Amino acid sequence: MATVLVVDDEPIVREVVVRYLAREGHDTLEAADGAAARDEIERSDPDLVVLDVMLPGLDGLELCRWIRRRSELPVIMLTARGDEADRIVGLELGADDYVTKPFSPRELAARVRSVLRRSTAVLPSDEMLSFGDVELERGTREARKAGARIRLTAKEFDLLWFLASHPRRVFSRDQLMASVWGYTAAFDTGTVTVHVRRLREKIEDDPSQPTYLETVWGIGYRLAG
């Protein structure tokens, strides 16, 4: 199984999350603040980070930004209910998912399972897709634009691969949440919107006038063929 770093300044939260993740068979590490978490990441190289936004000193958003500058390490953010701005900023910084407090530990464990499954999946090495000057290689989970590598998070790659696998087909946000994130229950589909925006910034020549990732107003998104 995986090694998960749990970062939260509340000991009871860390205790509950660690207990549930241990039941799933994961090894766990703990940190009570951003600076300690950064040191633990450099020392232990975990497979996933569960990261609270509100941390003393180096907060969760700054730590997420630091993580994304150096790697595609999967990150699940913990945010207070109603703090939509923090959730959106976290997703824009590259978080793969978020869970709002108070949360169900069982739900968080399921989110960890989902993110890890997609980020560590062993896929056929010779399967490739391309559109325009963008190429995707599924086995290595690499993306290139005009031959230059594009750094995508696990969820960004999954979303782009899914849309590229169904060119010209329009998907609603709910359909994308179910197909890419694996969530069939009601969920904040703003996650999809943020991921599409981030992808446009990485693959479009002009993100404000996208030629690949199109919005079909009132319905959802499609990859132009």
Task: Say what the pLDDT of residue 225 is.
Answer: 66
C-alpha 86 chain-centroid distance: 15
Task: Say what the pLDDT of residue 82 is.
Answer: 60
Delimiting residues of CATH 3.40.50.2300 domain(s) in the chain? 3-119
Superfamily of segment(s) 3-119:
Response regulator (3.40.50.2300)
pLDDT in tens, 19-57: 999 999 999 999 999 999 999 999 999 999 999 999 999
pTM (two decimals): 0.68
Sheet arrangement for strand 213-216: 171-172, 220-223, 213-216
Q: Which CATH class is domain 128-223?
A: mainly alpha
Print pLDDT tens along the chain (225 aa): 799 999 999 999 999 999 999 999 999 999 999 999 999 999 999 999 999 999 999 999 999 999 988 888 999 999 876 666 777 777 788 888 888 888 888 889 888 988 887 665 554 556 899 999 999 998 888 899 999 999 888 888 999 999 999 999 999 988 998 888 876 555 566 788 889 999 999 999 999 999 999 999 989 999 986
Q: How many CA atoms lie within 13 A of 222 on its CB side?
A: 12
Task: Say what the pLDDT of residue 177 is.
Answer: 86
Delimiting residues of CATH 1.10.10.10 domain(s) in the chain? 128-223
| Nearest CA-CA partner of 15 in 4, 26, 6 | 6
User: What are the backbone angles phi and psi of residue 86, rounded to the nearest 5°?
Assistant: -65, -40
Task: Judge whether 17 and 6 are in contact, CB under 8 Å.
Answer: yes
Task: Say what the pLDDT of residue 131 is.
Answer: 93
Task: Say what the pLDDT of residue 189 is.
Answer: 66
